[in-house]
Amino acid sequence: MVLLVIPAVLIAVISLASFAGGWVWWLDVLANFRAQYVAVLAVLGLVILASRWRRTGLAILGVALLNGVFVAPLFVGSPGEPVAGAPEMRVMSFNLLSTNESYNEVIEYIEATTPDIVLLHESSRPWEVAMESSDLDYEIVRGRSDNLIFGTLVLARQTVDATSFGFAEGDGRAIALSYQPEGWPAPVKVLSSHPVAPTSGDRAALRDAQLEFAADWASQQEGAYLVVGDLNASPWSSPFATLLGDGRMRNSQLGFGLQPSFSADTIFLLRVPIDHLLHSQDLRVRDRRLGPAMGSDHFPLVVDLQYAPGPS
């Protein structure tokens, strides 16, 4: 039994330490696995509880419960009740992966899914050419500048006003859109964001600054607005919580479960949700789902939204 107790205690300590992610960057990375901590600690805690290590088993289960408090809202939270006749729109966000060449598969998926707005992250010149030469009926906006290899490519059903904040590593790595879907009484403001991955202390600080930029943008908006993209942060990351609070937004994931979008190359148990759509109170989520990987290490995120001002 000691061979189970030692790893259980170690995992419990790691999960508790990850709550200090706001002060230590690599602890914030460990916070991305909050759901895995719940599952593993619950199983180990029950097994240990059934042995003579009852107090240890109860302690492990207590830590599992604590982690579960932060995971549960994704399953039991409400996206808001739908309003009959309210105008709707569909948003698709997909990190293509820089080496991906599955052009036809992605084009066919967009055609079948019919989003109002498509945000393609890590899009290069070949992807721009593929979208421009396709039969898709979209206005195409390029977020990257000519001196960059990658950026975010925007496809919109209606005319869209766009402002790019740059996609170099030290830029805002975001593009702001003003878009009025057909049948909507007012435009919806969209910030497509793709912060850098927090693979070191310096890059984690840069990721946090880019999320803070998104929070500042959202705090200045009124009416219907979104922050959407590969945010390189899970719902349990400290800067993610700051983004939600400072931007006065809700997580579209509430009520739809984990929907782990990364990495498509690993087994389900190791995946984490880092692709997000956050929305203002004037919007409600009718549906939220992940699509097929289509050559990427991410799954595309597709969210159906409804314009319904007032309390949700």
Tally the residues of the chain: 312
Q: What is the pLDDT of residue 82?
A: 78
The rounded mean pLDDT for the chain is 94
Q: What is the pLDDT of residue 144?
A: 85
Mean pLDDT across 35-56:
93
Q: What is the pLDDT of residue 146?
A: 82
Which residue in 288, 284, 285 sits closest to 273, CA to CA? 288
Longest dimension (CA), the chain: 68
| Confidence (pTM) | 0.94
Start-end of H helices in the chain: 2-17, 25-30, 34-49, 54-71, 73-76, 103-113, 125-132, 201-219, 238-246
Q: What is the pLDDT of residue 247?
A: 94
pLDDT single digits (tens) 265-304: 999 989 999 999 999 999 999 999 999 999 999 999 999 9
pLDDT single digits (tens) 148-180: 889 999 999 988 999 999 999 889 999 999 999
Mean pLDDT across 136-155:
91
How far, CA to CA in Å, does 180 sit from each of 136, 177, 183, 190?
19, 10, 8, 11
- Domains of the chain plus CATH, in order, are 2-71 (no CATH), 88-307 (3.60.10.10)
| Structure-block tokens of residue 43 | 């199983």
Three-state secondary structure string covering 276-300: EEEECCCEEEEEEEECCCCCCCECC
Q: What is the pLDDT of residue 3?
A: 67
Q: What is the pLDDT of residue 51?
A: 86
Q: What is the pLDDT of residue 97?
A: 94
261 preceded by a cis bond (ω within 30 of 0): no
Q: What is the pLDDT of residue 311?
A: 56
